[in-house]
A and B are shown apart, each in its own frame.
Chain A
Amino acid sequence: MARMKFLCDAERCIECNACVTACKNEHEVPWGINRRRVVTIQDGKPGERSISVACMHCSDAPCMAVCPVDCFYQTDEGVVLHSKDLCIGCGYCFYACPFGAPQYPQAGNFGSRGKMDKCTFCAGGPEEDHSSDEFQKYGRNRIAEGKLPLCAEMCSTKALLAGDGDVVSDIYRQRAVARGFGSGAWGWGTAYQRKTANR
Chain B
Amino acid sequence: MFFKSKRMFLIFVLCGLTALTGCREAEQGRPLVKEKGVYEGPADTKVSDATLHKLRHRAARQGF
CB within 8 Å of B: which residues of A? 1, 4, 69-73, 75-77, 81, 83, 85-86, 125-129, 143-148, 152, 158, 161-164, 167-168, 170-171, 174
Q: Is the CB of A163 within 8 A of B44?
A: no
Please report the C-alpha to C-alpha distance between residue A170 and residue B63 in the assembled complex, in whole angstroms: 9
Interface residue range, chain B: 20 to 34
B39 at the interface (CB under 8 A from A): yes
The interface residues of chain A lying within 8 Å CB-to-CB of B44 are 73, 75, 81, 125-126
Nearest 5 pairs of A and B residues by beta carbon: A163-B59, A146-B54, A83-B41, A171-B63, A73-B39
The interface residues of chain A lying within 8 Å CB-to-CB of B43 are 126
CB within 8 Å of A: which residues of B? 34, 36-47, 50-52, 54-56, 58-60, 62-64
Most chain B CB within 10 A, of A146, A148, A158, is at A146
What is the minimal beta-carbon distance from A117 to any residue of chain B, in angstroms? 16
Q: Is the CB of A71 within 8 A of B51?
A: no
Q: Is the CB of A167 within 8 A of B47?
A: no
